[in-house]
Amino acid sequence: MIRPILKYGDAPLHEKARPVDELTPEIDRLIDDMIDTMYAAPGVGLAAPQVGVALRLFVVDVSVGRDSGGLMVFVNPEFVERDGTQLEEEGCLSVPGFNATVVRPMRAVLRGFDREWQQRTVEATGLLARAFQHEMDHLDGTVFVDRLRGIKRDLIVRKIRKLTRAGKW
């Protein structure tokens, strides 16, 4: 089932998510729904808080479904290592229509559980490392706009406020 994606300004997006205690049929359904929602959007990642569920869980597929082995599910993920920097433009399903250049690690090692509750560690570089950091930010209540400074951030926030007042956000 495709779930509605919360937008910047919706309170649950700006709160820290809690750990998943165990894999239940409800969590399994949530994972399926998140995968369907991510691909329908389309996006390369989706965190549970983006669909209004404050749990430390995200799905990611930088191939956007083109690589059958590209889909990854992370439950209770944590960074093991991060290094280097990359500056690339990125967007977010929760901030539709807006993009900005954001500093992210060039390399990231993430450890967490998959949907079978098996621990896995994945080393990523480039776009996948960027996606990991982006989704981990969502689990901590941070949206990419929060990482911006100065006029770029102000412009995006002002435009969102204007759209909200006009009932278009």
What is the enclosing helix (H) or strand (E) of 73?
strand 72-83
Q: Contact 137/147 with Cβ under 8 angstroms?
A: yes
Tens digits of per-residue pLDDT, 135-149?
A: 999 999 999 999 999
Instruction: Please give the domain boundaries of the chain with CATH numbers for all domains.
Output: 11-165 (3.90.45.10)
**Active-site residue, 135 included:** yes
Tens digits of per-residue pLDDT, 24-41?
A: 999 999 999 999 999 999
The model's pTM is 0.95
Query: How do strand 57-60 and strand 45-47 relate by DSSP bridges?
Result: antiparallel
Q: Which of 15, 22, 89, 135 is catalytic?
A: 135
Tens digits of per-residue pLDDT, 40-88?
A: 999 999 999 999 999 999 999 999 889 988 999 999 999 999 999 999 9
Question: Cα dihedral sign for 54, 69, 24, 32?
Answer: positive
